[in-house]
Structure 1
Amino acid sequence: MFRGNGIGRLLAIRAFLPIAALAIEVATASPSHAAGTVVNVSLWDKGVETAMATNLGFPAVGEDMSKVTMGIALSVDTVNAGEITFEVLNSSKDTTHEMIITRLRDLSRPFPYNSSESRVDENKMPGILGEVSELDPNKTAVLRLDLKPGTYLLFCNIPGHFTSGMWAVFTVK
């Protein structure tokens, strides 16, 4: 790669080092350095010893949301359209979670929920845009999407988690 010997070779190597350092920095940059908007997402729960709620799936109209035993916390719930980077942390001590994102067209319409499996029937769910699958406790993942204006729902579809309140509404302007 570097031809010649002596001073010429040394100068070529020195000229190359800043370019190599920049390439390494870009390749190893944290997701926070990504273009667009960054949304920090925490997938949380009150622990395995807490009995899961069973009636707090979306939309939970008229339900007491203070009883949720699991949830999705967002650093911001409204962003501008474009590239969105979701930096997802499963902050649970002992429970695996996931995050699925879908566009909501009708906020009052219930999801196709399969009560025998205690989860949303993803095969009947139009418009799933992306997901972070089965994230172990204290692990992180990144999901980047180019989102258009609209209302979206982030939810966990591990059995029982959706109806325990593990969903969040997200708006793109």
Structure 2
Amino acid sequence: MAVIIAGPAAHAHGDEHDSFAVGRPGDPSQPARVVKVTIEEHSDGTMAFSPKTLVVKRGEQVRFEITNTGKLTHEFILDSFAHNAHHKVEMAKNPEMEHDDPNMKTLDPGKLVEILWRFSKPGAYEFACLIPGHYEAGMHGTVTVK
């Protein structure tokens, strides 16, 4: 079982992020609500995150415990809808791209990772798997920050 706690880091694509569209990496010394997220593959070809929606309070810190129960590699990318749409295009060009950033992780089958995140900005955001075909198969959900 691999456990990765997100912390301040440079984005794998070379950009320094002082803040992200959806908030900022969490502080491991502070309390966090734990949200268990399961990545699922279904016999009909659909794929999903469970739960698919989450509501958090502005300023709340969440520890996502993400488990890939499927047979394929997946990813969990937490960002704005616009950033995810842009990144989806980049993933189509580079489908072997892997992520290990504060707001995005690649998960091999059977693996668990953690993302610790503080939601500092109100709005609606998206978590998604942008591996080609996975988003279309249903792998995306929404976080609403109130």
TM-score strictly above 0.5: yes
Q: 2:41 matched to which residue of 1?
A: 45
- The amino acid of 1:99's aligned partner reads F
Is 1:130 aligned with 2:103? Answer: yes
What CA distance in whole angstroms lies between the structure 2 residues aligned with 1:116 and 1:77? 25
- Across the aligned residues of Structure 1 and Structure 2, the Cα RMSD in angstroms comes to 3.2
Q: 1:100–1:132: 8 Å Cα contact kept in structure 2?
A: yes
Q: 1:83 matched to which residue of 2?
A: 61
Cα 1:117/1:145, change in 2 over 3 Å? same
Q: 1:87–1:142: 8 Å Cα contact kept in structure 2?
A: yes
Task: Report the TM-score, using the length of structure 2 for normalisation.
Answer: 0.62
- Which consecutive residues of structure 1, in runs of 5 or more, have no partner in the other structure? 1-33, 52-68, 123-127
- The amino acid of 2:126's aligned partner reads L
Cα 1:36/1:163, change in 2 over 3 Å? same
What CA distance in whole angstroms lies between the structure 1 residues aligned with 2:94 and 2:137? 11
Identity %: 28
Q: 1:147 matched to which residue of 2?
A: 119
Q: How many residues were matched structurally?
A: 110
- Which consecutive residues of structure 2, in runs of 5 or more, have no partner in the other structure? 1-29
* Segments of 4+ moved more than 2 angstroms: 110-120
Q: 1:118–1:160: 8 Å Cα contact kept in structure 2?
A: no
What CA distance in whole angstroms lies between the structure 2 residues aligned with 1:73 and 1:167? 10
Q: 1:24 matched to which residue of 2?
A: none
Give CA-to-partner distance per residue, 1:55-106, whole Å, 9 cap, x none.
xxxxxxxxxxxxxx011112861122321111100011x111110001247x
Q: Which has the higher contact order (CA 8 A, sep 6+)?
A: 2
Q: 1:111 matched to which residue of 2?
A: 85
